[in-house]
Each structure stands twice: as structure tokens, then as C-alpha cells.
Amino acid sequence: MSRLLALLMLVAATAHADPLPSWQDGASKTAITGFVARVVKEKTPDYLPPEARVAVFDVDEPLAYASSAELAFAFDEVRRLAPQHPEWAKTAPFSTVLAGQPVKSAADAQTLIAATHDGSVDALTARVQRWLAESGRVQGHRQMSELIAYLRASGFKTWIVSSGDIGFVRPWAERVYGVSPEQVVASTLKARLAVQGGGATIVRSPAFETVLTGAAKPVAVERAIGRRPVLAFGDSDADLPLLQWVSAGRTRFVALLDRGDGAEQAQAAALNLGWLVVDAGRDWRQGATATRAAAQPQQAGQSEPSALVLHARDMLY
């Protein structure tokens, strides 16, 4: 009898467990959990079938900030490959990196990424995976990991949208947040099929084919997913078109993580359209911001989720 009672207590405790323990109790957390509770409740006006539950997390900034994981990888690759490219010592932005200085523009960052992310797709994936394992740069925000896990448990499919190169973002997102490679929408390098000796592989050239920013983001998301998300996260004015598109849906949740700068238009839109503004200093429990544990990968056959729209700076990186 005591074992049965203990089991019932465990089940009850699990049922009422806080899905977002690293979030402060308050308006932002309540808004998120309230939205999820409404869309999963059957026979109600806000109910969304599993196939409509799509959450989109926008990961911007990797092409602009030296602290991002992707640019750090590019820096390390420049140093590793420098002996094969003596001309880099006198050619910016490679010479800047070799001198131990940070790059100062998104254009320079793109040049570095294109030059170090080319070649076989399989080889790049292996290099990124090895670098992530050896460099220790696999930390993410615990709050976002919890949110992704919470959404998946509620039948959502979680996608990542990024202006970063898809060749890096795919293995990074899978390692840190358990997001499958096929659920990543990002910038791409030019590529071709190489057939040799009875084998075939996709080979990337050191030049961008598409850079996802601004209005290109919602277009790419619609093309990849085939439906409008109901929830989305972003991090700058470059995400505004994506947020506006999601916000125009019948059922949607839009939130903006206050980054303090670089999102003036998005801040104005949040005020005018009633989006939730998330302040990490106010809404996240301090001392619980980093995690090396990835969210559980989505299982094959799991219900497809709807779209979620939130806006944040350095939200995932």
C-alpha cells in the first residue's frame, strides 16, 4: 500500500512539475504557459491540432559578433588553415584574425565563414562536431532549452531560423538543443553535386548563395515548413518581417526579448501589436543561464508542432 501511495504521489508531483524552472514566476512565464495550455486543450476556440503547432526560434547575430560560436569556429579554422594560405597574412579580414584582433563588420564575418565552411558537406559536419566536442563551446541558455523541451512535450515541432551558415548551425543546434538538421532554416553557400569513382557528395563553394535576413526569413520559413508558425523567437530588427508574418496569423504568440539596442523597430512593433517583451534580467532566474545538455531530440513520428514567435538577443548562442 505504501508503494502504491508513493507511486501516486510521484505521478501527481510530475504532473504539476514546473516546466520552466529557470524562468521567474511572473507575467512572461504565465503568458507562455497560458498560451500553450490554450492551444493544446481540445474542443476550445484556441485549440490547434498537432500538425499546426510549429515553433520558430530565430538565431541571429552569429555573423556580427565575435563571441558567437559560429564565428569562433571560423576564427579557429583560419588559424588552422593559415599555413595552406600564406596570402592570408596580408589579406583582411584573415590578417585581422591572425593578428588576434576581432572583426568589425558583418561583411568581414561572412568572408571568414564562407572561406572556412566550404568543401564537402559531410567533412564540414564532422569538423564542426569535432570542434564542438573539443572547444567546449556548446553552452546554451538553460531557459531556452527548457522552453524547447516544454514545447515538444506539448506536441510542438521546434525549428531554428538563422542568418548563420546552415553547415554550422545544423550540427550546433543538434548538439546544444537537440534540434534535428532537417528542422533548421539558415543561410547557404553555393553548392554542387560531385560524382567521382562511383560515389557522390555535395560540395560547397566559398561564396554565399543566400543570406537569411529581413524579409527573406519568412519566405524561407514558409518554403521549408509549408505553414505559418504560431510562435516565434527573434533577436533584432532583421527579424521584424518574420515576427510580423507570424503575428498576422489567427492563432499566434509573439514575444520580444529586450536586448537594449539594435531592435528599435521591433520594440515599437511589440508595443503597438501587444507582443510580450521578455527581459532576461527580470524574467530569467540568474545563476541558471548556461547548459551543456541538449534538449531531447524529436523522435520520428512525433506530432508536428505549431509556430511560436518570440524575439531575443543572443537567445540561443
Least confident window among 34-43, 181-190, 270-279: 270-279
Query: pLDDT digits over 294-314, tens only?
Result: 444 444 444 333 344 444 333
3-state secondary structure of 202: strand
pLDDT of residue 32: 94
pLDDT of residue 261: 61
CATH number of 21-311: 3.40.50.1000
Q: Is 242 exposed, middle or buried (0-12, 13-18, 19+ CB in 10 A)?
A: buried
What average pLDDT does the segment 181-206 reach?
A: 95
Query: pLDDT digits over 131-172, tens only?
Result: 999 987 766 778 888 999 999 999 999 999 998 999 999 999
- Rounded distance between C-alpha atoms, residue 154 and residue 312, angstroms: 22
- pTM for this predicted structure: 0.83
Cell 553552452, located at residue: 139
